[in-house]
Chains A and B, each alone.
Chain A
């Protein structure tokens, strides 16, 4: 250390001598005073000293008390509310519960910083605003384990956990997070940017505890353009398409303000092959579809992981990639369940012949047909089929319907048509029950006085999308003279072809993504019922139904991130191995996951991608695909009113404030402000002001006591008595 101006230091050092000299100069030189009454004086000194000791002791106690009160005032004393759970909360400490949004929408990146990082910073600042003795609990909006639960007073460890946590790829579970963290008369701070994907599918269903409060961080207002892959489905290979080419229909969605015309490049990779498709966005266009052909090895009957991605990065990278598996099957195996030798009502060809003609119009097609007697339906025969067409449902027993339903859930496409000889629909009861359709089929077929044409509509189901341009033309000559009336509850199915009176002619049951289809013809495949088998529509109709339905079945299973179960049984699977996907987010622990016989996973699937199911020998026994839910990845900002209204629907008090900023202000600028969200969030009322005034009172008492106990006080009293 050095001095800039040493001479000033020297002068200062010399100046110290001045008060010393003054003290020495004015120091009294006392000479002994002769005194006769020494015994009396000695006794008086003894008594005076005893009294002085008592006075000084009292002064010492008051001064120590002043220091203690000052220390307590600085430490921030808090008075817990009467309704707070004092049994679990140490006296004088507050508790801060944070629900941190770590779902996939928080991966929105603006300016190189993700929404999660901004939210985590707010949470850390709120933690820094706590005092020693306060407790903090941190729940996560995703299904992941809570970061800090139950609430802990170890703020240092909590800080470290918060700093180390990362966002997930999961959809939000805000209901569960709040329900788990809310206490009666408690306060929960929800830290999120509340982008569209974080809000879930609807209003919160959890009911708030009595007197509970929610403090929300300000919703983000920055809009950004995000293009996401909503779905990528394998579609039927067009006729005369090489079997190694797999058409993939990719559905894209855009969100943002001022959507301008642009171009998106869709890239599909399967093994070594790479295919690209371009999507031209018009101004304001929010949804688009394109087809990209994925190349697999010729005649390869294996299964290949597939990645489809957008070439251009945007604000939300998590929804720019879609994973799937292509099963390299060379043909479609269709089982026709009927009894041999059936003829049509009008004579001539029976239903099975019409089916055969429709599926194999020419030699060399990729559809193979196998006739199956209804009495021989079993797992082995059904296991060989990609689709079954049941022409004699009246001969299928309940047990066999159950078998068919189970296979359909595993991917089997089931097409049912009434038997030509049907005079009632009793056979439909077992079908409806085992497939849990909720449909109602009329008991007797409707015999129309005059045949009904088909209703011509411009919209067609996705499964008929390939023939949609020609569908109205192909439907015009169709006349149906006999049919069963079908009523479907809303959402239970789709009418692929409809009669003019609105009765479905061909209905497809709604299904879960990746499962098999159920398609019901309400009119028999017989010229005595309708002229469809003899019309051109029959071939493309039946082929598209089968091809698209079979193609849309996802090989293996498909789940969302966070799943802890396979979703569907994969026989002999003992582990899952991550083979394709977000490798940057994988660790050795997440790359290989154990599977128990019930399909439960050793740990949740947190990384999107393709997982190969392996048996105990390491051999592949199936696939599991993990894709981000595109709805959960949306990043459009949400208004504050919407967010507040959503929480108010819980029935609790909602406050909005910048928790992080208030925490900082609480510490520095407004040490005595008890109205910040953090202060309010802490279950207590600051007593610092009361301790401050107590300190002032103690200081005054000390002053008076010091005066009383001083020799000056004694002098004045002695002077008065003399």
Chain B
């Protein structure tokens, strides 16, 4: 265990009971066919001897007769071989934004919510805390499905991480990594994407948990790289409630947390304009993600992780069901 790690923290603190209760009925399924080391519930991209029928192909000399579809032969007097999809384990890489901006939070922490190093001392629930809670829930769920989960913390690059594993005990290591990593620097999306792709050669579901407050072009570049390699991604946009509503009622200089300088203004006079700018930014991210075929969801750090995550997973479940039925 790394020095300075909160020995008093328990990983289960990240799993609020209501979170688990909401996630249990759902299976995490990948939209794309992914290769896995172990049999699981996920569709493998390679067709072969598997449980689920996929399609027919014409019999050619040398094929075994074990997979001949005799019903089709009876109807058509033609020989066809049944092809099956091999379900594999899903590779999930959860990347959590560890830049300085993730240290922002305005919610006073509740007992039992578990704290990270970023939150400790300020007694506030930061965005990073919320992102780690999402990461913990997702990793727990994935591990229960015997998916392979890896975790990384990034800012100007992937600074820390836990290699992928499908062991149930792997979850505690994930939480420990997230809890002990300090927040610093600013995100460089392109570099993060390159580093992540270098570590994941097989098709992987990347779960990006960040506030995505960087320029959209940088995010577009990173997502393009992931799509180019055939990976799937989920964008989890984690924002503080105050960042969403901008409900402050005072005039004060605003100081950037990543060295962006100071802006002196009255929050009341710019509230309307800010909410409009934020809405446009979120809409841009949504269109960006959809453009690449990725999912995205907004997580309010003042609200429980469970409902939002459940909604996201439900959406993905419905999509996959439709695709299989076709």
Measured CB to CB, the residues of A under 8 A from B are: 28, 30-45, 47-48, 51-52, 711, 714-715, 717-719, 721-722
Contacts and interface: CB of A to CB of B under 8 A. Distances in A.
7 contacts: A38-B258, A42-B263, A44-B273, A45-B265, A48-B272, A711-B268, A719-B268
A721 B271 contact: yes
B275 A38 contact: no
A35 B255 contact: yes
Contacts of B281: 40
Given A36-B211, A43-B273, 8 more contacts: A30-B253, A34-B104, A34-B254, A36-B101, A42-B260, A44-B276, A52-B269, A717-B272
A35 B272 contact: no
B266 to A, nearest CB: 6
Given A38-B254, A52-B269, A711-B269, A32 B278 contact: no
B252 A37 contact: no
Nearest to A40: B277
Contact of A714 (B102, B248, B261, B269): B269
A714 B268 contact: yes
B291 interface: no
B58 interface: no
A711 B269 CA distance: 6
Nearest to B254: A35
B213 interface: yes
Given A36-B101, A36-B127, A36-B257, A30 B269 contact: no
Nearest to A715: B268
B167 interface: no
A721 B275 contact: yes
B251 A30 contact: yes
Contact of B251 (A28, A43, A722): A28
A27 to B, nearest CB: 11
4 closest Cβ pairs, A-B complex: A44-B274, A36-B101, A38-B260, A718-B271
Interface stretch (B61-69, B188-196, B239-247): B239-247
Given A32-B262, A711-B266, A45 B273 contact: yes
Contacts of B246: 722
A424 to B, nearest CB: 123
B116 to A, nearest CB: 16
Nearest to B213: A37
A41 B248 CA distance: 13
A41 B270 contact: yes
Interface in B85-122: 101-104
Given A33-B254, A37-B278, A45 B270 contact: yes
A37 B255 CA distance: 10
A138 to B, nearest CB: 64
A718 B257 contact: no
Given A38-B263, A52-B269, A43 B253 contact: no
A715 B251 CA distance: 11
Contacts of A33: 248, 252-255
B245 A35 contact: no
A346 to B, nearest CB: 137
B245 A38 contact: no
Contacts of A34: 104, 254-255, 257
A267 B248 CA distance: 109
Contact of A39 (B213, B265, B273): B213
B293 interface: no
Given A48-B269, A722-B271, A36 B277 contact: no
Interface of B: 101-104, 127, 211, 213, 215, 239-240, 243, 245-258, 260-263, 265-266, 268-278, 281
B252 to A, nearest CB: 4
A51 B274 CA distance: 13
A537 B97 CA distance: 154
Contacts of B247: 722
A639 to B, nearest CB: 78
Nearest to A50: B273
Nearest to B215: A39
Nearest to A713: B269
A30 B255 CA distance: 12
A48 B248 CA distance: 16
B111 to A, nearest CB: 25
Nearest to B281: A40
A47 B252 contact: no
B11 to A, nearest CB: 27
Nearest to A46: B273
Contacts of A714: 268-269, 271-272
Contacts of B240: 36
A718 B271 CA distance: 6
Contacts of B245: 722
Contacts of B269: 48, 52, 711, 714-715, 718
B186 to A, nearest CB: 11
A717 B240 CA distance: 22
Given A41-B254, A714-B268, A718-B268, A35 B273 contact: no
Nearest to B248: A33
Nearest to B214: A39
A292 to B, nearest CB: 104
A594 B325 CA distance: 130
Given A33-B248, A36-B257, A41 B263 contact: yes
Contacts of A718: 268-269, 271-272
A31 to B, nearest CB: 7
A47 B273 contact: yes
Contacts of B266: 711
A38 B261 contact: yes
Contacts of A31: 252
A694 B21 CA distance: 69
Contacts of A717: 272
A28 B103 CA distance: 27
B243 A36 contact: yes
A48 B211 CA distance: 24
A45 B262 CA distance: 12
A497 B33 CA distance: 158
Residue with the highest number of chain A CB atoms closer than 10 Å, among B245, B254, B257: B254
A45 B249 CA distance: 15
A711 B249 CA distance: 12
A339 B24 CA distance: 169
Contact of B270 (A44, A721, A722): A44
A40 B213 contact: yes
A48 B256 contact: no
Contacts of B272: 48, 714, 717-718, 721
A658 B288 CA distance: 87
Nearest to B247: A722
Given A32-B254, A32-B255, A48 B270 contact: yes
Residue with the highest number of chain B CB atoms closer than 10 Å, among A28, A37, A711, A717: A37
Contacts of B243: 36-37
A32 B213 contact: no
A35 B277 contact: no
A36 B260 CA distance: 9
Given A36-B101, A38-B260, A47-B277, A30 B270 contact: no
B267 to A, nearest CB: 8
Residue with the highest number of chain A CB atoms closer than 10 Å, among B101, B254, B262, B273: B273
Contacts of A47: 273, 276-277
Contacts of B265: 41, 45, 48
B188 to A, nearest CB: 15
A164 B257 CA distance: 86
A47 B243 CA distance: 18
Given A40-B213, A43-B277, A32 B270 contact: no
Contacts of B263: 35, 38, 41-42, 45
A43 B213 CA distance: 13
A425 B276 CA distance: 125
A42 to B, nearest CB: 6
Contacts of A51: 273
